[in-house]
Structure 1
Amino acid sequence: MTGRSTGVLAVGRAVPLLVRWGLSADADLVYRCLVSFGPRNAGAVATSLGLAVRRVRAALEELDDADLVGVTGSVSVYGAGAVRWRAVPVDAAVTGLRRRALRRAAAPVGVGPGAGSSGHPLPARHLPDRAATRRRIAELVAVERTEHLAMNPEEIFSTDTLAIAAPLDLALLRRRIRLRSLGRAPADGDRSSRHATEFARLGGEYREAGRLPHKLMIFDRRVALVAVDPHDLDQGTWEVVEPAAIDSFVSLFVRHWTDATDPRRNGVPEVVLTPREKAVVALLAEGHTDTSAAEQLGISTRSVTYTLRALMDRLGVENRFQLGLALGAMNAATPSRAAEPEPIEGDDR
């Protein structure tokens, strides 16, 4: 496909990847389409994306349930098929997704007075605040010998939290202790798998799950630290040593670990465009056809076509419209204002 109407699109506002918030890939594409082109009915969206109408309608229902789309106009005259859908603005959508994730968070694990089996209080020591918890973590990490399990339900980590966790993780990995960390997908839609790749390079294991019930650390399967309130760590932590309770926490971790995914294999890797891809995308985003883009770059039209086909294969999209949405989400399809394109290596004319 060539021409200005079917070229790669320039999307000005980056859209978080909805898949990382638990929505389907179809819902993600449909939402991006509505953000980019404004209100449309299901048939028009299906035509634009090259998807079956039934898939678009299912995606719209999913987006509607998540309060990410709304209906414009009345449906009484023309029927449901003529309903025009509009996307909720991106900033409002992100805020709504965060609230939705918090509402879906599971209730805290039963720890503390009265939480033990047979109605007896569970043997647990209360660490009263964040500072006490940090000191105890450091003490337990120092004597760990075999395995460290961590469950982190936060979608956003503060720089303070990362500054504390990173050195502890590194200390465990240097001592060849098996470290398994279970986290949530980033709330900002960051699709990079660099963290998981670097973590694995150091010897750790990291997976992500859509939902996690609580903030939990287990040391050598003999001590567990469980946050009193995972959304307010200043409330302190329960330190549990009762063997039956530890077994339950380990089972909880293993169950969620089994269902979780490795972002290096199941996520979307960071896409780095080659100089040729950057130049081709920039020209098509400005409205060039394949032929005029080829003339500008001094390569063949076939080279432009092959470059775009390879890029579509890398991003897992089916047509140029979907490619434009994917590149726009990464701010990679913004027209270049440079006077000269980057140097392009070799041509296959």
Structure 2
Amino acid sequence: MFSTLGISTTAEAVYMTMLRQSTWGIAEIAESLEIDTQQVHDALDELIELALVSESPVSPGSLRPTSPKVGLAALLARAKAEIAQQQYEIEATQAAIHALSEAHQADHQDQLIQIVQLESVRQRLQQLARLTQKECLSFNPGGAHRPDAMAASKPVNQEALERGVTIKSIYQESFRNDPGTLAYARWFNGLGGETRCLPVVLFQMVIVDRRIALLPVDPNDARKGAIEIHNEGITAALSALFDHAWSTATPFGAAATVDENGLEPTERQLLQLLGDGNTDEVTARKLGLSVRTVQRMMSDLTARLGAESRFQAGANAVRQRWL
């Protein structure tokens, strides 16, 4: 019945029996289901990992089933979220296939333009800002932004907003640590711009009216220039990527959303990055934080997970469904 929630047949039978006969022990459950006690033990381990069984607060050492309204509802919500993510990935893949097909059939010289110098990129961004009719979307990676870049963008952004252009910007969460960038974001929002934050923004991007996009030639070095894209399929796929990121990002000025485990988005991303084998230095760079801040956050998470080492913290995070 509940296999779609990741529960095995034996574990489901043990759980249902415990709901009906809350006083039964392992031997009685095994006899009732006509299985051996080891199978019951294995099923209980599975149920504990799924948070469907926990230690009784009134009888230490004994186990009791979690209310279906709580335990099964949580598993159902997780399953729905996984299905929604899979659906998004399918749609994104379809958009990417469409974009590649369009790009393959098109004349690339007409639709892809390389801008080789950083100053030329800034000049082109200013031109596009003045040509924008309805909407400008952007990804802004890293923490602190260069003062000269912010100064150059101020007048063109102000002029566009005064013309009624919608400007949406996604910043990396760590930009709040830089007073200059934070002040710029406040100024921008005060004029009617819209800003949201994500723990990690992997690359810079600007989309104008969902028909022209600018991407860096090298995401790790903006000085190498940019690619200006006029291909309809590619800009549609990039716009869909931005829309999804926008829907999951935290609005500027709002407190970061805390999940059911008390994790903020940056903390969850930190666990994921370290779990993937990234060093403190690489993790700090991707999050736009200092190495010392990453180490302090990890120390706090290790304590909250009841672990004595990072390896144990990673194992506990998986076991406790933090990841």
- TM-score, normalising length: structure 2: 0.43
More helix per residue: 2
Q: TM-score w.r.t. structure 1 length?
A: 0.40
Q: Specify which structure has the bigger relative contact order, considering alpha-carbon pairs within 8 angstroms and separated by 6 or more residues.
A: 1
